[in-house]
Amino acid sequence: MTTHLDSLNAAPAEDFAGFVGSLIPGAAFLGERAASARPFATVSALHAALMAALMAASPEEQRALLAAHPEPTAEDAAGLDPLAAAAEAEAFARGLAAYRERFGFPFLICAERQTIDAVLDALAARLAGEPAAERAASLGEFGHIVRLRLARAVEGPGLPPSTGRLSTHVLDTHGGRPAAGVALRLYAVGRAGRRLLDSRTTNADGRTDAPLLAGAPLRAGRYEIEFDIGPYFRGRVDGAVRNLFLETVPIRFGIDEPEGHYHVAMIATPWSYTVYRGS
């Protein structure tokens, strides 16, 4: 169920505030204060107005609003291997408690923009930070949460970015053509090892039919794609070779912009490959 921006622009101030409160528990007062800035030409402008109202709010109001947001759970960083999660759950809970004790408010992060390892890294880093910086970081994360909710709940022009994209492409410069039929596997790489996210095969253009990841923010963190280059080239090198120079080629890379486009491309021969962030 989405609401159109036009309706929000035309609604009584009270209803507009109610909509904001329904989207973000406790934030109706931001809607009240931003209502007079309507009409908004774009959804991004609506987002900016709510964030401006948040920045202008009193420290107590900010603190109360942010504290109302639930702390992240291992489940937020979805798809995690249950065993690894269990092993780390206790340490995670201890970290969250230490954070609350140190800063007097809970750890706030837009968990769907992070792998569980990135959440753990952020918690460790932010535990060592200064209170003022932490308040700013929390506001920034809150802004991500509001942005994603608006992008999904409101229709209209100028939607703020709410998705990223990971794509790949394999070129065969031994034969001078896209490398078709190359099996590949995408993994999330964390402290506890790596976890298979998807398996694909390249099409006639050396790409996958659909992006490897799309339709949601890319979780910041580390990833690996394994390409089965050996089977692709096997017929083209000396048949007596038992151990091909290149068999499975792993490409390990980081994602840092959840709403970005990461094109991880490879140009391969049986004896060499080039990896680059393309476009």
Between 63 and 261, CB nearer to a copy of itself = 261
Q: At closest approach, how far in Å is the CB of 231 from a copy of itself?
A: 13
Query: Where do we find the tokens 């201890």?
Result: 94
Q: Which of 32, 121, 155, 228 is close enough to bind a copy of itself by CB under 8 A?
A: 121
Q: How far apart are the first and last CA of the chain?
A: 34
Q: At closest approach, how far in Å is the CB of 37 from a copy of itself?
A: 30
Residue 96 within binding range of a copy of itself, rule CB under 8 A: no
Query: Where do we find the tokens 């409160």?
Result: 21
- Strand arrangement, sheet containing 193-201: 193-201, 183-190, 221-228, 248-255
Q: At closest approach, how far in Å is the CB of 225 from a copy of itself?
A: 12
Between 213 and 220, CB nearer to a copy of itself = 220
Element (H, E) at 102: helix 82-103
Residue 237 within binding range of a copy of itself, rule CB under 8 A: yes
Angle at CA of residue 227, ends 220 and 190, nearest 5°: 30
CA distance 266 to 60: 52
Residue 25 within binding range of a copy of itself, rule CB under 8 A: no
Name which of residues 174 to 233 contact a copy of itself (CB under 8 A).
174-178, 205-206, 220-222
Give the helix ranges, DSSP H, for 104-228.
116-127, 131-153
Phi and psi angles of residue 214, each rounded to the nearest 5 degrees, phi first: -170, 170
Between 148 and 265, CB nearer to a copy of itself = 265
Q: At closest approach, how far in Å is the CB of 71 from a copy of itself?
A: 20
Q: At closest approach, how far in Å is the CB of 169 from a copy of itself?
A: 8
List of residues contacting a copy of itself (CB under 8 A): 118, 121-122, 169, 171, 173-178, 205-206, 220-222, 237, 241-250, 252-256, 267, 269-279
